[in-house]
Chains A and B, each alone.
Chain A
Amino acid sequence: MSATSSTLTTATGRAGAVAGHRTAPPAIGFGRLLVVEARKMVDTRAGAWLVIAIAVASVLASVAVIAWAPEEMVDYSSFATAVGIPMAIILPVIAILSVTSEFSQRTGLATFTLVPHRGRVVAAKLVDALAVGVLGMVVAAGVGAIGNLVGAAVVGVDPVWDVSLAEFSAIVLGNVLGVLVGFMLATLLRSTAAAMVAYLVYGYVLVGLTTVLAAAQPWFADAQPWVDFNYHQGNLFEGFPATGEGWAQLGVTAAAWLVLPLALGLWRLGRAEVK
């Protein structure tokens, strides 16, 4: 590095600032934080690979539907699901890393000195995570539509559009809740490794266990709708709850498994020492 010859003249203007001739800089707006935090979700090597993984998985899944699905299954829901499932798995990881990297990669030291209001930074991350959850499904719907058109042409059938707006809205809600679960675990644990393991256990291992338990134990099968948030979140990918009771169960389980722990996580994150 040829640093020894560097001049100080590039840093002009400081004397004016010191002497107080420059007016105080305007405060950092929330819109700017949204842009910064969104950029930070994808500008790391990990972030870039997650986006690439989504793109690759979407293309492979669409190709697989065209190549192997029986003719009567070459419809919009097959393609949208093929693209949507990789997203539903990976998007929560982006939300997790957005929070945990500030602690595991220690970027919080810079982030929270440039913006000494953690609540605002985390709120920006949360809004971005929600946007990612919604936009991800919109993109999945778009890519799925292209797949459906191409697939129908390749197979030689008329394209079948079998996803209603209500069904799509339910899928978006399911996906957003999945992203929020990732976000919740990240605020609670503040460590990439711990939050990733918790996410896998919560989202995948636990589902298997509760399914087995419900099959083996009638009492749990009865109680499950009132205690199992995963169960309701998964069902959203099939459509909204059919009954008011179903909505109530979704609300109760979401409060217990998502809202309360998220509130605790945010409270702790506001007090955590950034080292």
Chain B
Amino acid sequence: MIVIDGLTKRYGGHTAVDHVSFTARPGRVTGFLGPNGAGKSTTLRVLAGLTPATSGSATVLGRPYHRLPNPGREIGVLLDASAQHAGRTGREVLRVATLTMGLPRTRVDEMLDLVGLTQDEASRRIRDYSLGMRQRLGLAHALLGDPGVLVLDEPANGLDPAGIRWMRDLLAGYAADGGTVLLSSHLLHEIEVVADDIVVIGRGRIVAGGTKEELLAGSGTLVRCAEPGLLAEALSGAGHHVERVDAGDATAGLRTDADPTAAGLVALAAGLALTELRADDGAGLEEMFLQLTADTQRETTTPATSPSPTRPTAGAAA
């Protein structure tokens, strides 16, 4: 269980994290979604006690991080897989961690097996590791102490598709066993496929949060037929809001706030044959996320719409 409550972190005049509150619950994977520089990593660093909060609090299992007597045994943290000594072997990194946590030496090989690093790979120095191997080692490091809570910052970076699938299954299994998982990503799809709960952050503020079903549902229905103009009239005549998915392409269909059953009945009453009728899954979330991303990605926006130019670049706070 992780509880973030009113967390704020300011750097001089810049507010990196602004009154962020959310909870990551046991038995569930909580996805922490936001564009680069939105404040995800800062929030996680405050949670792990690496950065002091300006105000607000973050607790793990009911306690501030620094009050955990042996944190690695209760919470596994992977904030940056590249943050390991280039001149140390992978096995030695795990060995040092087992020594710190007071774990038996056998735990190292168990974790190497679990994350799929061979003995030969574990004997290499980390300077020779690919990013994917570093992610696996970082996950092994986080899981060493058999913690009940996992916090991972962009764990899929550098993994190949099979590796991403493997990580997803591992995290789902971990949560199914009763573990609490909080993972961050700047990719909507990545969060969508693994998370049970989603928290969206943009420019330091929580902009949406809830179960995946809540966030993906309720965004309306997508309908398509040969005569979209007539259908649009019928739907708005029945009191529903209608808009074209793509104003320039009449065949792209319509989006309405009516649920699929109501939309189908309206079409039937109007004598129109539908070619497509489905819940418009996630369009709302995706649009909101794209909006957030567009706001922070200067290279794709015109200067006129770019927010306060004095802010540091997106990467600085990531």
Q: A residues engaging B (CB < 8 A)?
A: 1-4, 6-8, 10-11, 13-15, 17-19, 24-28, 32-33, 35-36, 39-40, 43-47, 101, 105-110, 112-117, 271, 273-275
Contact = CB atoms under 8 A, between A and B. Distances in A.
A8 B177 CA distance: 10
B101 A3 contact: no
Interface residues of B, number: 65
A45 B117 contact: no
B114 interface: yes
Interface string B128-141: 00001100100001
Given A14-B177, A25-B73, A113-B50, A3 B115 contact: yes
24 contacts: A1-B163, A3-B115, A3-B136, A3-B162, A6-B170, A7-B114, A8-B174, A8-B177, A11-B114, A14-B178, A18-B26, A18-B177, A25-B74, A32-B100, A33-B100, A40-B96, A45-B125, A47-B87, A105-B87, A108-B83, A112-B50, A113-B72, A116-B68, A274-B50
Nearest to A8: B173
Given A45-B125, A109-B80, A114-B72, A14 B146 contact: yes
Contacts of B147: 14, 17
B116 A1 contact: yes
Given A3-B116, A11-B146, A273-B51, A105 B79 contact: no
A236 B68 CA distance: 45
Interface of B: 26-27, 45, 48-52, 65-66, 68-74, 77, 79-80, 82-88, 92-93, 96-97, 99-102, 110-111, 113-118, 121, 125, 132-133, 136, 141, 143, 145-148, 162-163, 165-166, 170, 173-174, 177-180
A112 B100 CA distance: 11
A36 to B, nearest CB: 5
A43 B97 CA distance: 13
Contact of B117 (A1, A43, A271): A1
B73 A36 contact: no
A20 to B, nearest CB: 9
A38 to B, nearest CB: 10
B163 A26 contact: no
B71 A4 contact: no
Given A11-B143, A273-B50, A110 B83 contact: yes
The 5 A-B residue pairs with the shortest CB-CB distance, nearest first, are: A3-B116, A45-B87, A106-B83, A27-B69, A18-B178
Given A1-B121, A4-B165, A15 B177 contact: yes
Nearest to A13: B146
Nearest to A102: B85
A106 B69 contact: no
B69 A25 contact: yes
A221 to B, nearest CB: 45
B27 to A, nearest CB: 8
B102 A32 contact: yes
Nearest to A273: B51
A108 B45 CA distance: 12
B96 A28 contact: no
Given A11-B146, A45-B87, A28 B97 contact: no
A15 B96 contact: no
A27 B70 contact: yes
Nearest to A104: B85
Contacts of B132: 1
Contacts of A32: 99-100, 102
A25 to B, nearest CB: 4
A271 to B, nearest CB: 8
